[in-house]
Amino acid sequence: MEPIANNRKNLLEVRNLQKQYGSNGKTNVIFEDLNLTIYENEFVAILGHSGSGKSTLLRMIAGLEHIDGGHLSIEGKDITGPGKERMMIFQNYALLPWLSVYDNIKLAVDEVMSEASEKEKKAHIKEHIAMVHLEDATHKKPSELSGGMKQRVGIARALAVQPLLLLMDEPLGALDPFTRAKLQDQILELYYERHQTIMLVTHDVEEALLMADRIIVLKVDEVASIGKVIDVPFEHPRDRKKLRESPQFNELRNETLSLMESYFEQMQTNNKKMEVSQFI
Ligand code: ADP
Ligand code: MG
């Protein structure tokens, strides 16, 4: 049987992607030849340990970082910079501290709905505030909000722009486990309601398995590459309690953890070899 993803429309294409950073005449090659397709309406997690290139990949897709070779396209159009069809949610929220929740979202809405009337924009902003259940905080400033609430503003702001692809770089990393679980469920609800295509970067195996349809596991040898692609076999909507009790979930979690451990050890061995080679 063909994997379901093969019957879907390609949304994002990453082809022969190269990326390097350079300083003081030394170059650090991150990606040499990365290939990846994201399909419409799927929820993909990019899983990898720290330094495996997750943020770099997401920033290039967002158009916030230039590429050194290959190409990136969305709906067949080359990505050459930021665009409203790709919105990014950052771990540190990136809200403007002097603006209220409403005005932080309005800033993004004004940018993309320049043709709409003030009344239409107001309705659109309110709809998105309600979507993340922040009605009571509409006129509050970021400093008056908890971390979870700030991240909900970030999500509302990104979705108000109605992107084709939502990019999330460890959006829940700074939150306590309970707030984190609650927000995971809210993001899944948005995914069901809007059929939003999502790329979520995380180093948390359980988070990836609870949320994603497909997990791309990055590994680093000399450079970063895709070590494994996991098709997550659990039906949506997902019940975290039931999943945690299921043997299949536990087996997949343990397998994935072992895989990441082996990638981590491999990276450390390579780093040691590189350090030694500097002296001989
Ligand atoms: P991750 O998000 O998986 O932790 P990153 O994409 O942040 O990984 O980093 C991948 C590699 O690229 C690391 O070795 C990091 O040191 C390097 N790197 C990331 N950003 C920069 C930068 N702006 N300048 C130089 N090197 C960078
Ligand atoms: Mg990162």
Average pLDDT of the residues in 116-120: 94
Residue of higher predicted confidence among 278 and 219: 219
Average pLDDT of the residues in 135-145: 96
* Residues 144-198: tens digit of each pLDDT: 999 999 999 999 999 999 999 999 999 888 888 888 898 899 899 889 988 899 9
Residue 3: pLDDT over 50? no
Question: Residue 57 — pLDDT band, cuts 50, 70, 90?
Answer: very high
* Residues 212-234: tens digit of each pLDDT: 999 999 999 889 999 999 999 99
Question: Residue 7 — pLDDT band, cuts 50, 70, 90?
Answer: low
Residue 238: pLDDT over 80? yes
Residues with CB under 6 A from ligand 1: 21, 28, 30, 48, 50-56
Q: Whose CA is nearest to atom 23 of ligand 1?
A: 21
Residue tagged 């320049």 (tokens): 114
58 within 8 A of 77, measured Cβ to Cβ: no
Ligand 1 atom, smallest distance to 57 CA: 6
Class of domain 10-85+163-277: alpha beta
User: CA-to-CA distance for 219 and 80, rounded, in angstroms?
Assistant: 26
Of 52-61, 71-80, 84-93, 240-249, the poorest mean pLDDT is in 84-93
Distance from Cα 201 to the centre of ligand 2, integer Å: 8
Question: Residue 6 — pLDDT band, cuts 50, 70, 90?
Answer: low
Question: Residue 24 — pLDDT band, cuts 50, 70, 90?
Answer: confident
Average pLDDT for the chain: 91
Distance from Cα 167 to the centre of ligand 2, integer Å: 12
Site to substitute for ligand 1 among 27, 34, 56, 64, most atoms within 8 A of C-beta: 56
CB within 5 A of ion ligand 2: which residues?
55
The pLDDT value recorded for residue 59 is: 96
Q: Whose CA is nearest to atom 18 of ligand 1?
A: 21
Distance from Cα 85 to the centre of ligand 2, integer Å: 22
User: CA-to-CA distance for 147 and 179, rounded, in angstroms?
Assistant: 9
The pLDDT value recorded for residue 275 is: 64
Residue 2: pLDDT over 60? no
User: CA-to-CA distance for 126 and 124, rounded, in angstroms?
Assistant: 6
Ligand 1 atom, smallest distance to 53 CA: 6
List, in sequence order, every residue forming a beta bridge with 86; answer none if it has no partner: 165
User: CA-to-CA distance for 195 and 45, rounded, in angstroms?
Assistant: 16
Distance from Cα 92 to the centre of ligand 2, integer Å: 12
Q: Sign of torsion, CA 31 17 167 157?
A: positive
* Residues 27-56: tens digit of each pLDDT: 899 999 999 999 999 999 999 999 999 999
